[in-house]
C-alpha cells in the first residue's frame, strides 16, 4: 500500500510493533514516510502516535500472536484504536474486514471481523469498511494454503466446504480500493462489499490453481466428516501454516462469501482481475522473486533470550575467507529455503519433519526471497532477529525445542579481499529435557556446523569470482 499512497501524493506514518521490519524497504527512506513504534494496547500513547493524521487505515490482526484468544484481543485493540483516533482528531478510519452473512452459523473468525467493525465504530469517528472474501496475492495465508494443497495433493479428501461459493479478489484490487477511498468522500462512514468479477466454489478455484501451476486436474472428493479442527491439522501437515492459523481459516470456509452489492465499483473504478488472472499475477510475483511481504513475517518478534546466568551451551567456529565482506555476507544470507543449509541437508530435512510432526513449522515456510533477508523474516524454522548488512545475521529458533536457541553469523574485515566469519550457535536448555536434547544433538554438530561454515566459504568464493559481483 505505501508505494501507492506515496504515488498518490500522501505522507504516511506507519505505526508498527517492530520498526526494524521496515528498515530495508526501498520506500522507508522517503522523506514522506515516518516509521513509529506503537503499542495498540495502550490508548494513551496510541493517541499521541496518531496526532496530525487525517485518515487511518486499520489493518491489525492478532491471530498470529494471541492464539485462541485472538477474538477478544482484536476487539480490545480495535476499541483502543477508536478511542485514540477520537482523542487525536483523526477524521476517518478505513478498515479491511471480511464478507459473510451474519447469523448463528457465521464462523468465529468472520464473526470476529464484524466485532472489530463495531469496536472501530464505537466513537464518533466515521469508519469506512471494505469487506473482502479470499484475497489472492503472493505471500497471503489463504493463497499459500490453496497453492500447497493443489501442488502436493493430486487426490484430495476434503470437507463439504469445497462446494461453498466464494468471490475472491486480487490483492492489487484490494489496495486500489483502500487507497482510492481516500479521494472519494462518498465512501466516508459507509460499508462496501469488494470482490473480483466472478464467484466460484473452492473446488473450481483449486482447479484453476492447478491449471496455472501446469498440473493435471485434481481429484477432489468431499466428505461430511472432516471438522475444522481435523482440516486444520491436515493443512498443518501439508502446508507451512500452523494449525492455530489454519483452524479459524478452515472454519470460515463453510460460510458463503459473495458480494451482495457492488456500489464501490462505480465509486472507485478499476480493472478487476478474475480468479485466473489473480492467481497468474501472484505466481508471477513468486517466480520473479518479487514477493514484497508474507504471512510468515506477521506477529511479534521476541527479544533475544537472556543468556546471562544458568546453563548455556555454545558451539563457536570461525574461518578466514579469501573474499570481500559483501561476498561472504551474501553467502550467509542465502541459507535456508530452496538453497538449503550448505551441508547435511538430509539432517535438516529430518529435523524439519520431526518438528512438523510435533506441531512446529518444520522447513515448510521456506523464505520470502532466495537472496535477500530482513529483520522479522522467516528462514525455514528460524526467524531473523538481528540484521546488520555486511556485518551480522542472527537467527532465533522457532522449532519445537526444550530450550531457546540462537544461530549467529558475524563477519570481520581483514582486508579488501579477505574477511573472517564467526559462526556461533547458542542453546539455553529448559530443565532435564533441554540438557538431554543438547547432548543428543551435539555429535551431529561437527557434520552440520562444520559443513555449513565451509559451505558458506565456497559460496562466498563463487560470488566473489562471479562477473556480476559488486
Q: Is residue 32 part of a domain?
A: no
* Rounded Cα distance, 295 and 171, in Å: 13
* Rounded Cα distance, 272 and 371, in Å: 32
Q: Cα 72 to the chain's mean position, in Å?
A: 22
For residue 434, what pLDDT is reported? 85
Kindly report the pTM of this predicted structure: 0.72
Same domain, 174 and 96: yes
Q: Is residue 33 part of a domain?
A: no
For the chain, 470 residues long, give each residue's pLDDT as a single digit of tens.
999 999 999 999 999 988 888 887 889 889 999 999 998 888 889 999 999 999 999 998 876 554 567 888 899 999 999 999 999 999 999 999 988 776 666 777 788 889 999 999 999 999 999 999 989 988 787 788 788 888 888 887 777 777 889 999 999 999 999 999 999 999 999 999 999 999 999 889 989 999 998 989 988 888 776 665 666 666 666 666 666 666 666 666 777 889 999 999 999 999 999 999 999 998 888 777 666 776 566 666 655 455 444 568 889 999 999 999 999 999 999 999 888 899 888 888 898 888 888 878 888 788 888 888 888 888 888 999 889 899 999 999 989 899 889 999 999 999 999 999 999 999 988 878 888 898 899 888 889 999 999 999 999 999 999 876 55
Domain count, the chain: 2
For residue 68, what pLDDT is reported? 64
Same domain, 291 and 317: no
Q: Is residue 10 part of a domain?
A: no
Select from 224, 214, 456, 205 the least CA-distant residue to 322.
456
Please calculate the CA angle 154-158-161 and round it to the nearest 5 degrees.
130
Q: Is residue 11 part of a domain?
A: no
Same domain, 121 and 188: yes
Question: Domain ends where: 237, 268, 297?
Answer: 297
CATH of the domain at 292: 3.40.50.720
The set of residues, in sequence order, having a beta carbon less than 8 Å from that of 154 and lying 6+ positions away, is: 215, 216, 218, 219
CB 151 within 8 A of CB 215: yes
Question: Domain ends where: 269, 297, 325?
Answer: 297
Same domain, 417 and 452: yes
For residue 435, what pLDDT is reported? 86
The grid coordinates listed for 378 are 522467516
* Rounded Cα distance, 239 and 366, in Å: 11
Domain span at 263: 38-297
CATH of the domain at 391: 3.30.530.20
Question: Domain ends where: 255, 271, 297?
Answer: 297
Q: Is residue 442 part of a domain?
A: yes
Same domain, 278 and 321: no
Q: Is residue 140 part of a domain?
A: yes
Count CA within 13 A, CB hemisphere, residue 165.
Answer: 12
Q: Is residue 354 part of a domain?
A: yes
For residue 376, what pLDDT is reported? 85
Same domain, 293 and 415: no
Same domain, 125 and 260: yes
Same domain, 195 and 83: yes
For residue 26, what pLDDT is reported? 85
Same domain, 324 and 430: yes
Burial class (CB in 10 A: 0-12, 13-18, 19+), 221: exposed
CB 300 within 8 A of CB 206: no
Q: Is residue 342 part of a domain?
A: yes
Same domain, 199 and 341: no
Same domain, 331 and 275: no
Same domain, 54 and 86: yes
Amino acid at each position: 500500500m505505501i508505494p501507492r499512497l506515496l504515488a498518490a501524493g500522501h505522507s504516511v506514518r506507519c505505526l508498527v510493533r517492530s520498526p526494524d521490519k521496515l528498515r530495508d524497504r526501498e520506500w522507508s527512506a522517503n522523506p514522506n514516510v515516518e516509521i513509529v513504534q506503537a503499542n495498540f494496547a495502550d490508548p494513551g500513547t496510541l493517541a499521541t502516535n496518531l496526532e496530525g493524521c487525517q485518515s487511518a487505515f486499520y489493518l491489525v490482526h492478532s491471530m498470529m500472536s494471541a492464539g485462541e484468544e485472538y477474538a477478544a484481543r482484536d476487539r480490545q485493540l480495535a476499541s483502543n484504536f477508536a478511542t485514540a483516533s477520537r482523542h487525536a482528531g483523526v477524521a476517518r478510519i478505513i478498515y479491511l474486514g471480511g464478507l459473510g452473512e451474519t447469523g448463528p452459523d457465521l464462523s468465529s473468525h468472520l464473526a470476529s471481523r464484524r466485532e472489530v467493525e463495531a469496536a472501530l465504530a464505537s466513537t464518533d469517528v466515521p469508519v469506512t469498511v471494505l469487506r473482502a472474501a479470499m484475497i489472492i496475492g503472493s505471500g497471503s495465508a489463504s493463497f499459500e494454503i490453496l497453492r500447497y494443497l493443489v501442488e502436493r495433493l493430486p487426490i484430495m479428501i476434503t470437507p463439504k466446504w469445497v462446494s461453498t461459493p466464494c468471490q475472491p479478489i486480487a490483492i492489487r484490487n484490494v489496495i486500489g480500493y483502500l487507497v482510492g477511498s481516500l479521494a472519494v468522500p462518498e465512501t466516508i462512514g459507509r460499508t462496501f462489499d469488494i470482490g473480483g468479477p466472478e464467484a466460484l466454489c473452492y473446488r473450481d478455484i483449486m482447479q484453476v490453481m492447478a491449471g496455472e501451476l501446469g498440473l493435471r486436474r485434481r481429484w477432489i472428493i468431499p466428505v461430511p466428516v472432516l471438522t475444522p479442527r481435523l482440516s486444520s491439522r491436515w493443512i498443518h501437515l501439508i502446508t507451512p501454516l500452523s494449525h492455530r492459523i489454519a483452524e479459524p481459516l478452515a472454519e470460515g470456509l463453510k460460510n458463503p462469501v459473495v458480494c451482495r452489492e457492488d456500489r464501490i465499483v462505480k465509486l472507485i473504478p478499476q480493472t478487476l482481475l478474475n480468479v485466473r488472472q489473480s492467481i497468474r499475477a501472484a505466481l508471477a510475483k513468486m517466480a520473479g522473486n518479487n514477493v514484497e511481504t508474507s504471512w510468515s513475517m506477521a506477529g511479534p518478534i521476541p527479544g533475544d533470550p537472556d543468556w546471562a546466568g544458568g546453563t548455556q551451551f555454545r558451539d563457536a567456529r570461525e574461518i578466514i575467507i579469501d573474499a570481500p565482506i559483501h561476498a561472504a555476507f551474501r553467502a550467509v544470507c542465502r541459507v535456508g529455503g530452496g538453497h538449503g543449509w550448505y551441508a547435511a541437508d538430509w539432517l535438516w530435512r529430518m529435523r524439519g519433519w520431526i518438528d512438523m510432526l510435533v506441531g512446529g513449522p518444520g522447513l515448510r515456510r521456506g523464505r520470502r526471497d532466495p537472496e535477500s533477508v530482513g529483520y522479522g523474516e522467516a528462514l525455514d524454522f528460524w526467524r531473523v532477529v538481528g540484521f546488520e548488512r555486511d556485518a551480522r545475521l542472527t537467527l532465533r529458533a522457532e522449532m519445537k525445542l526444550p530450550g531457546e536457541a540462537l544461530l549467529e553469523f558475524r563477519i570481520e574485515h581483514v582486508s579488501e579481499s579477505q574477511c573472517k566469519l564467526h559462526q556461533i550457535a547458542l542453546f539455553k536448555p529448559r530443565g532435564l529435557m533441554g540438557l538431554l536434547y543438547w547432548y543428543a544433538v551435539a555429535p551431529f554438530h561437527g557434520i552440520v556446523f562444520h559443513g555449513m561454515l565451509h559451505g558458506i566459504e565456497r559460496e562466498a568464493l563463487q560470488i566473489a569470482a562471479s562477473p556480476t559481483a559488486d
